[in-house]
Amino acid sequence: MLNLLLGGQGINPVEALGKSADFSHWEMYLNDLLSKATDFGLRLVACVLIYWVGRKVIRYIDKLLSKLLSGRGIDPSISSFAKSLINVMLTAMLIVGIIAKLGVDTTSFAALVASVGVAIGMAMSGTLQNFSGGIMILLFKPYRIGDYIVAQGQEGTVKDIHIFNTEIVTADNKTVFIPNGGLSSNVIVNVNNEQTRRIDLVVGVEYNTDYDFAKSVALEIVAGDKRILSKPAPFVALKNLGESSVDLLIRVWVKRSDYWNVYFDLNESVYKTFNQEGIGFPFPQMSVHLEKSK
């Protein structure tokens, strides 16, 4: 009957069945592709939502942790480091969760990450050194947030201690990031460790100056500044006989917070008072002797 119907219209029954089968195959393929695309799109949308919600949650945890640590009186240096470390860990967990939602096998992914991690670890040995340096800084506390330090050719007030670097603000308000590895293995000068600081001021006077008189004038200047501490006692001495001048050393102790103000004021007072008392400051000079040739 099929032969008759199709044959009567000039259509080969075998070819008709073949075309029908091909169309059915492509229709199934397109339906499957559409289904997978829809599923992937939904997964992608879900991943975006997970990331958005996850970042919100991480920021909330960060703020909550800040309040908790500050409320318990935890050292700001430890607090800053802990927040930075937890933020990195939570972000890593969020990324793994998003990858799992996309349908990637997290077991094989973890093995891949582990192997890649070894390679990255070898390539980033300096970064790992900075991480361990940050832990050493937190354990031994050579400085804390708010301290004024001099290290690695930089100096400034410590603003934050991160897991890989320390953030300082210089006196001229520049932000500098110093790797923790270098800080933990090199010399650090912490200006804030002690409550007092010493000022050493070297003043050159002319060779014909009465030394005892110059010393007494210097001591009077020191005695007139109430910010200068009496213990340890101020000290004035002949430091050096230079090429063009007799160098006086004025050594005083002040509170840490008064250091720069006293240093500049002391320079100004010495200059003005020595001029008023007729004590001259020499200029660099050189004696040249000429001999007549015979």
Topology at the third CATH level for domain 195-276: Alpha-Beta Plaits (3.30.70)
Please give the sequence-ordered ranges of beta strands (E in DSSP) within 83-163, or none if there are none: 148-151, 154-161
- For CATH 2.30.30.60, the residue range(s) in the chain are 133-192
Topology at the third CATH level for domain 133-192: SH3 type barrels. (2.30.30)
- For CATH 3.30.70.100, the residue range(s) in the chain are 195-276
Query: Given the structure tokens 């967990």, which residue do they identify?
Result: 93
pLDDT 10s digit of each residue in the chain, 294 long? 444 444 555 555 555 445 555 566 677 777 777 777 777 777 788 888 888 888 888 888 888 877 777 776 666 767 777 777 788 788 888 887 787 777 766 566 566 666 655 555 554 556 778 888 888 888 888 999 899 999 999 999 999 988 889 999 999 999 999 999 889 889 999 998 899 999 999 999 999 999 999 999 999 999 999 999 999 999 999 999 988 899 999 999 999 999 999 999 999 999 999 999 999 998 876 667 777 765
Q: What is the pTM assigned to this prediction?
A: 0.56
Instruction: Yes or no: say if 201 and 267 are a contact pair by the CB < 8 Å rule.
Output: yes
Nearest-angstrom CA–CA distance, 60 and 65 = 8
Note the CATH architecture for domain 15-102: Orthogonal Bundle (1.10)
DSSP, collapsed to helix, strand or coil, labels residue 117 as helix
- For CATH 1.10.287, the residue range(s) in the chain are 15-102
Nearest-angstrom CA–CA distance, 237 and 157 = 34
Nearest-angstrom CA–CA distance, 251 and 226 = 15
Is the omega angle on the peptide bond into residue 13 within 30 degrees of 0, that is, cis? Answer: no
